[in-house]
Structure 1
């Protein structure tokens, strides 16, 4: 029996169920174990309570204590610093990593009037939205997908910005009014990907997880997360990144785009390409280029 730890939210439970079903299809028995995290019970802004790492610390504690065998994380919520004794046993095929708009009256970003109130709790999204110069009024919000979309339906805000992957996993794609092009809005590093974490010395669980791992997704998110780590930015910092495996002249290569919000406004954007076999080097190089332009 594999004990799978998950947060109690609808999205976390849906993501855990996807992994559980995949493992069951491989012949494993799986039991879901709900875990309450600090981020679930504290509604203060993330930057005040320790960043998005507050969603994973309780799961990691349960892993290290042997209470669960694996934990399923939204990879964008997982801090880049490694934890002794834990490893990412699998990173499955990624969902669409882009951000989306859910707006009143089916409006797109360009159709929102100057002064329209847009809700997001992400400094990354705020920096990139402000850089578009659309004259939108941005307000910080937190809560699950239902809570955020309800704010639009109730008229509290004109629109909210969310991750498309979460809506896809909840079966709510029909509520999207616009999928944002990465040229406008680069996603968070790791957005759309799941990280399945386990104990580093648990060879049986590592073997069970191996078939779920997607090398292309792992390469892409490794580059993105290395960019974030090299910038020495926490997960709530205004950093966007998106890597893709593309066909190069000599075979597959990794293409990485990065965005960094600047003090006083504006967003610095650069891209780089490199070897799929060393994605961390691609992320590190692009981060250093971004830092050189400060």
Structure 2
């Protein structure tokens, strides 16, 4: 084996426990397919160091920019994103080369004393940094106190359950992505999974995007091609197309979910008022074999329906798509 063939593949990642966990899974898969070692290259982003809210920083895309810059600069060969954090606008010089099979797309409630959402007492403090989750909480439980929340997953859990690092347990519950809890081995803290039908989650939630430079070739590109899960890509592409066609930012108060069954793509989406939780919904299905662009076609139908129902007036949809 030549030096070039044995050189480690460098995978750029944020330094949070969740980012490291999901990046290591992808690294192990790449190593198994290429026979080459894969090393993680930690990258600090503005979103990791800022104390400002996500909205004031321009949404969750702030976690993506520095990682992409490192990839374009040649500091790493491949990067992994949580797809719900990835802007829908393609980035010049980069390509999402793989979307591995999606994990659990649901949100999960972590509460003190294992109290479910519907049984939390009026006035209970529930933490979230997501406009969508805030709107959903306001609609389902208007008497709760909703507290803006930042920090990594362990910090958020600590705000409810306390931890050895001295985080004050000042909240009664938090809402987090179930997939993130699973990836860091914290499923044990989940009180309740919130069903997709009544609680749609962010477009792409539970899925990962493995991104490389567009000119990447050789074993790495081949490995990523074999990791790509077609059903996940079509479903997630349709969800994210809803965001793009609505010209909505990643942090818009919008939930969407798609899946494939029996040769059909099913897509539903819901837009919320962040103040009241009022909502409009749409759902459509189509046969995959009837169109060359099923994700785009399904999303176009859903978006047309949402706009006819007043989605643009109901919620602020502008932002970095």
- Is residue 63 of structure 2 the alignment partner of residue 77 of structure 1? no
Contact 2:181-2:187 at 8 Å conserved across structures: yes
Count of residues in correspondence between the two structures: 290
Q: 1: CA distance between counterparts of 2:106 and 2:25? A: 20
Aligned equivalent of 2:172: 158
1:109–1:263 distance in 2 versus 1, CA, 3 Å: closer
Structure 1 position 81, deviation (Å) = 0.6
Aligned equivalent of 1:53: 61
Structure 1 position 28, deviation (Å) = 2.8
> Which ranges in structure 2 are unaligned for 5 or more consecutive residues?
1-7, 163-168, 311-321
- Is residue 284 of structure 2 the alignment partner of residue 272 of structure 1? yes
Structure 1 position 66, deviation (Å) = 1.3
Structure 1 position 178, deviation (Å) = 0.2
2:51 to 43, 46, 59: 43
Secondary structure of the 1:51 match is: coil
**Cα-to-partner distance string for 1:185-229 (whole Å, 9 max, x where unaligned):** 111000000000001111223222111100010011000000011
Q: 1: CA distance between counterparts of 2:170 and 2:89? A: 37
Aligned equivalent of 1:257: 268
Q: 2: CA distance between counterparts of 1:221 and 1:55? A: 19
Contact 1:242-1:258 at 8 Å conserved across structures: yes
1:22 to 29, 33, 37: 29
Q: 1: CA distance between counterparts of 2:41 and 2:141? A: 45
More off after superposition, 279-288 vs 57-66: 279-288
2:188 to 149, 174, 178: 174
2:110 to 102, 114, 119: 102
2:206 to 187, 192, 211: 192
Aligned equivalent of 2:242: 227
Structure 1 position 264, deviation (Å) = 4.9
2:126 to 108, 112, 118: 118
Structure 1 position 163, deviation (Å) = 0.1
TM-score by length of 2: 0.88
Contact 1:190-1:224 at 8 Å conserved across structures: yes
1:283–1:125 distance in 2 versus 1, CA, 3 Å: same
Q: Give every structure 1 segment of 4 or more consecutive aligned residues whose post-TM-superposition deviation is greater than 4 Å.
A: none
TM-score by length of 1: 0.96
Aligned equivalent of 2:4: none
Q: 1: CA distance between counterparts of 2:23 and 2:287? A: 32
Aligned equivalent of 2:100: 92
Structure 1 position 262, deviation (Å) = 2.7
Contact 1:128-1:184 at 8 Å conserved across structures: no
Q: 1: CA distance between counterparts of 2:55 and 2:234? A: 28
Q: 1: CA distance between counterparts of 2:204 and 2:64? A: 15
**Cα-to-partner distance string for 1:262-286 (whole Å, 9 max, x where unaligned):** 3652121221112445212212221
Q: 2: CA distance between counterparts of 1:214 and 1:263? A: 34
Q: 2: CA distance between counterparts of 1:114 and 1:214? A: 43
Structure 1 position 23, deviation (Å) = 1.0
- Is residue 202 of structure 2 the alignment partner of residue 202 of structure 1? no
More off after superposition, 88-97 vs 278-287: 278-287
